[in-house]
């Protein structure tokens, strides 16, 4: 039984009333992880309060925590892990271990491990893993330590002088490896990595069963992540051979509810979508269809505004040097810069249709 199933089975009413969960975002881009989390909380209308946010760490309390939230949080890309808070204390409060109790959440699990998540080089003088581990053993003698394949994992996270201990709820299985560009039947140098594609989809606040469009779909990276999340997908791509390659990718992963159309997105052949997410063509992929990027953006904004309803999102990436035009169609909600190499920094722009 995984921690996730375990918690689903045993979460008691009293726990649900005020559950605290801490999230540890990926070190490469913690701000993006936090933005994704906020987008997910917004999508599913979740009542929450941020208790602490600091770099890679975020502690949130939820009223009426629902097990379904764990499935929503699994959507997060830039998140290393998340855990239900069990205990927190400061480094000089060593006595607080004595109050450590994990009530009867653990009656049905047999094995556990305690792991420390390190995100910086700060060394702790005290080995909290073994202290917490032996305390658990003392309270639940039948609970076996299994470092290789434990049923429950307790994680310890230290930030400033505070130590947080939680029951890990994250599912580490099958994350990105089998979907990275080189693992797909068809890829090109511009193929996006699944982690970034997924974050873009999350920022667009799309829900399962809704329709997402990528008007410059290339090899289908954004679409693959959308379909993995049960979001319906339409990709538009100018070049026939790229459409064929992208279709192979979707079939390879046995994905459902996708459609690739060979067309020119300067005249989008569609009427509506719930979100538009794309990586705009630039460099050699941009062809000579438009004179300069500003005209191109104005044109594209106009096209995309016609298929989005008020309140829906348009998320796109473009080089940092591109100036985003002021239009009446969209407001800029947030942007994130991603350094690619010396000559290219990309920007993720999150726009809301007004
Ligand atoms: C930056 S790439 C997209 C990469 C894609 N996200 C991926 O991971 O493979 C842009 C794509 O837009 C396509 N493209 C360029 N102009 C287009 C147009 N007017 N209509 C549709 N597709 C176009 C290019 O052929 C290219 O495949």
Q: What is the DSSP string of 165-181?
A: EEEE----SS-SGGGSG
Per residue in 159-211, pLDDT (tens digit) is 888 889 999 998 776 689 999 999 999 999 999 999 999 999 999 999 999 99
Specify whether the backbone of 145 is left (phi greater than 0), alpha (psi in -120 to 50) or beta. Answer: beta
Q: 135 or 202: whose pLDDT is higher?
A: 202
Q: Does residue 70 surpass a pLDDT of 80? A: yes
Report angle CA 279, 282, 288 to the nearest 5 degrees: 125
Give residue 97's pLDDT.
54
CB-count burial class (<10 Å; 0-12, 13-18, 19+) for 141: exposed
Report angle CA 204, 209, 211 to the nearest 5 degrees: 50
Give residue 100's pLDDT.
53
Q: Does residue 310 surpass a pLDDT of 60? A: yes
CATH of the domain at 32: 3.30.2130.30
Give residue 4's pLDDT.
43
Give residue 12's pLDDT.
45
Q: 270 or 259: whose pLDDT is higher?
A: 259
Domain boundary among 137, 168, 199: 168
Q: Ligand 1 pocket by C-beta < 6 Å: which residues?
A: 190-192, 216, 218-219, 221-222, 236-239, 242, 264-266, 279, 281, 285, 287, 289
Q: In what order do the strands lie in the sheet with 232-237?
A: 258-262, 232-237, 211-214, 273-279, 308-319, 344-353, 330-341
Domain boundary among 138, 168, 198: 168
**Which residue matches tokens 């999508």?**
43
Q: How far is the CA of 337 from the centre of ligand 1 (A)?
A: 20
The verdict on 181 and 270 lying in the same domain is yes
CB-count burial class (<10 Å; 0-12, 13-18, 19+) for 313: buried
For residue 99, the 8-state DSSP code is G
C-alpha span between 263 and 268 (Å, rounded): 8
C-alpha span between 196 and 222 (Å, rounded): 9
Helix (H) or strand (E) holding 218: none
The verdict on 40 and 107 lying in the same domain is yes
The verdict on 63 and 193 lying in the same domain is no
pLDDT bracket for residue 284 (50, 70, 90): low
Regarding beta strands 273-279 and 308-319, do their DSSP bridges make them parallel or antiparallel, or are they unpaired? parallel
Q: Does residue 221 surpass a pLDDT of 90? A: yes
The verdict on 55 and 37 lying in the same domain is yes
Give residue 267's pLDDT.
87
Domain boundary among 100, 134, 168: 168
Atom 4 in ligand 1: residue holding the nearest Cα: 218
Ligand 1 pocket mutation, candidates 188, 213, 278, 285, criterion most atoms within 8 A of CB: 285
Per residue in 14-58, pLDDT (tens digit) is 444 589 999 999 999 999 999 999 999 999 999 999 999 998 999
The verdict on 229 and 322 lying in the same domain is yes
**Which residue matches tokens 């049960």?**
230
Average pLDDT along the chain: 87
Q: Does residue 348 surpass a pLDDT of 90? A: yes
The verdict on 142 and 218 lying in the same domain is no
C-alpha span between 308 and 316 (Å, rounded): 14
pLDDT bracket for residue 80 (50, 70, 90): very high
Give residue 269's pLDDT.
82
pLDDT bracket for residue 5 (50, 70, 90): very low
Say if CB 140 and CB 106 are below 8 A apart: yes
Say if CB 227 and CB 254 are below 8 A apart: no
Q: How far is the CA of 209 from the centre of ligand 1 (A)?
A: 24
**Residue 73: domain span:** 3-168
The lowest-confidence range among 95-99, 115-119, 145-149 is 95-99
Secondary structure E strands in the chain: 18-25, 48-54, 57-63, 79-90, 111-117, 144-145, 152-159, 162-168, 211-214, 232-237, 258-262, 273-279, 308-319, 330-341, 344-353
Q: How far is the CA of 252 from the centre of ligand 1 (A)?
A: 21
Give residue 128's pLDDT.
84
Q: How far is the CA of 236 from the centre of ligand 1 (A)?
A: 8
C-alpha span between 130 and 120 (Å, rounded): 20
Atom 8 in ligand 1: residue holding the nearest Cα: 191
């Amino acid at each position: 039984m995984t921690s996730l199933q375990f918690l689903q089975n045993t979460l008691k009413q009293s726990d649900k009333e005020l559950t605290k969960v801490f999230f540890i975002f990926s070190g490469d881009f913690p701000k993006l992880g936090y933005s994704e989390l906020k987008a997910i909380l917004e999508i599913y209308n979740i009542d929450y309060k941020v208790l602490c946010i600091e770099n890679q760490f975020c502690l949130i309390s939820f009223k009426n925590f629902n097990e379904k939230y764990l499935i929503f949080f699994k959507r997060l890309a830039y998140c290393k892990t998340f855990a239900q808070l069990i205990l927190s204390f400061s480094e000089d409060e060593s006595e607080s271990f004595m109050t450590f109790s994990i009530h009867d959440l653990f009656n049905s699990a047999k094995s556990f491990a305690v792991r420390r998540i390190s995100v910086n080089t700060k060394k702790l003088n005290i080995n909290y893993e073994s202290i917490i581990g032996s305390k658990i053993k003392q309270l639940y003698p039948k609970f076996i330590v299994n470092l290789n394949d434990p049923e429950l994992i307790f994680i310890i996270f230290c930030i400033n002088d505070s130590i947080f201990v939680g029951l890990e709820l994250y599912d580490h299985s099958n994350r990105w490896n089998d979907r990275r560009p080189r693992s797909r039947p068809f890829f090109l140098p511009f193929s996006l990595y699944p982690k970034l594609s997924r974050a873009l989809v999350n920022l667009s606040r799309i829900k399962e069963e809704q329709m997402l469009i990528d008007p410059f779909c290339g090899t289908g990276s954004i679409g693959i992540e959308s379909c993995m999340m049960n979001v319906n997908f339409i990709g538009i791509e100018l070049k026939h051979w790229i459409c064929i390659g992208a279709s192979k990718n979707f079939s390879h992963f046995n994905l459902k509810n996708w459609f690739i159309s060979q067309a020119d997105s300067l005249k989008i052949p569609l009427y509506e979508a719930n979100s538009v997410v794309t990586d705009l063509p630039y460099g050699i992929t941009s062809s000579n269809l438009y004179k300069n990027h500003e005209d191109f953006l104005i044109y594209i904004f106009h096209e995309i505004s016609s298929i989005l309803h008020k309140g829906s999102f348009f998320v796109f990436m473009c080089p940092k040097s591109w100036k985003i035009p002021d239009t009446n169609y969209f407001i800029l909600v947030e942007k994130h810069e991603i350094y690619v190499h010396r000559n290219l920094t990309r920007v993720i722009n999150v726009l809301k249709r007004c």
